Amino acid sequence: MKKWKVWPAWVLAGLFTSFMSKAGEVEVLHWWTSGGEMKSAEVLKSMIEEQGNTWRDFAIAGGGGESAMTVLKMRAVSGNPPSAAQIKGPPIQEWGNLGFLTSLNKVAKAEEWDNILPTVVANIMKHRGEYVAVPFNVHRVNWLWANPSVFEKSNAKIPTTLEEFFESAEKIKAAGYIPLAHGGQPWQDATLFEVVALERLGADLYTKAFVELDMNVLASREMVDVFTQFKKMRNYIDEQSPARDWNVTTSMVLNGEAAMQIMGDWAKGEFAAAGKVPGRDYVCTAAFGTENQFIFNIDSFVFFKLLDAENKQAQQDLARAILTKEFQTVFNLSKGSIPVRLDMEMKQFDQCALDSMAAFKASAKSQDLVPSMAQGLATTSYVQTAIYDVVTNFFNDKDSDPYVAVSRLARAVNAAK
């Protein structure tokens, strides 16, 4: 009689899995195409492939994501959405209302997302009580990035107020350097604008203007002052600014061509990728007078309904991977942001990140924590687009009038509500 070989249980389990299961694919739409961002995306791709799944990269260049959203709408309407897409803020609710999104509550409950995420973040990720998106991080938008060498050569000091900014900018310009590195794209114009708005208005009026869409604030004299100060900055930007991507603009500060850039802390990923050290090669500080305030941006992936069972499981694996402590650490160290989990240790993070986390917690307590209009956290995409148009047209028209701009802003926002 032939004897059957007895295999260990773990071997049988592995054989059963290999025959009975099939790895899935996750197609991910995002716009992480700069050096630091690509490195961050590669980390997630590696984790997914280690799970046995396939990562299909769907990257579309453009820091604000406008091009990516155009492509996504076409894909979704045609019935062929990606597994996940980089979407954040109010648009999550818009996609949820259209019925395109799938529930992540099963993995959310297993991983205790409600306990490890700040409530304000968790609420943004939910549609009608169901998790449909996963956050990666918390970005601070109101950062000023400075090249200390340029300041030293210009005999200027790194500004801590808006008044000091203009004083230093004059000295830097006279010394032959570009005072403010800026990319002339609508979302970058809006980023600079909202930082000036926070400094001029304060958190309360900022919220009334860009979250509550209060017409009295949008059409106020205070808003005229915002536009006035915003326009003055145009004098310190180089003529090659139009259509320049943010990361190319960051390299101007990095290489000593320009002194400063107002940009979110994703810019730090560019400095890190170039081997630059904070406090030595560059300075990160709250933008002129907003050290006790925090404009936040949260990157997230939204998950779409799929038909294929294996791909649906791969979706759940992707969602789970994003909020692991391992990924939160590696991703945010590379991206320049801070972890979104409440139970993370920050030992590996630099002083910029530690300052950001401290400011995040402090501003949350003092109610000086505000969502970014420019990055799509404060309001709907319709209102955001309306603000973009007014802000960009004003900033790039040499003869534009702040009073006229304020009137146009109020009318545009009211029409887009």
As a whole number of angstroms, the distance between CA 140 and CA 372 comes to 9
Q: DSSP string covering 59-118, please?
A: E---TT-HHHHHHHHHHHHTT---SEEE--STHHHHHHHTT-B---HHHHHHTTHHHHS-
- Report pLDDT for 342: 85
The reply to whether 140-296+366-416 shares the fold of 23-139+297-351 is yes
- Report pLDDT for 64: 63
The structural architecture, per CATH, of the domain 140-296+366-416 is 3-Layer(aba) Sandwich (3.40)
In this structure, the number of other CB atoms found within 10 A of the CB of residue 50 comes to: 9
How long is the chain? 417
> pTM for the complete prediction?
0.82
Q: Where are the domains of the chain?
A: 23-139+297-351, 140-296+366-416
The structural architecture, per CATH, of the domain 23-139+297-351 is 3-Layer(aba) Sandwich (3.40)
As a whole number of angstroms, the distance between CA 133 and CA 319 comes to 8
- Report pLDDT for 339: 93
3-state secondary structure of 17: helix
- Report pLDDT for 22: 58
As a whole number of angstroms, the distance between CA 99 and CA 132 comes to 11
Q: DSSP string covering 364-401, please?
A: HHHT-EEE-TTTTSSS-HHHHHHHHHHHHHHHH-TT--
- Report pLDDT for 14: 44
The mean pLDDT values, 10 residues at a time, for the chain of 417 residues are 46 40 84 79 89 91 76 92 94 95 97 91 94 96 98 98 98 98 97 98 97 97 98 97 96 98 93 92 96 94 95 95 93 87 91 92 87 94 96 96 98 97
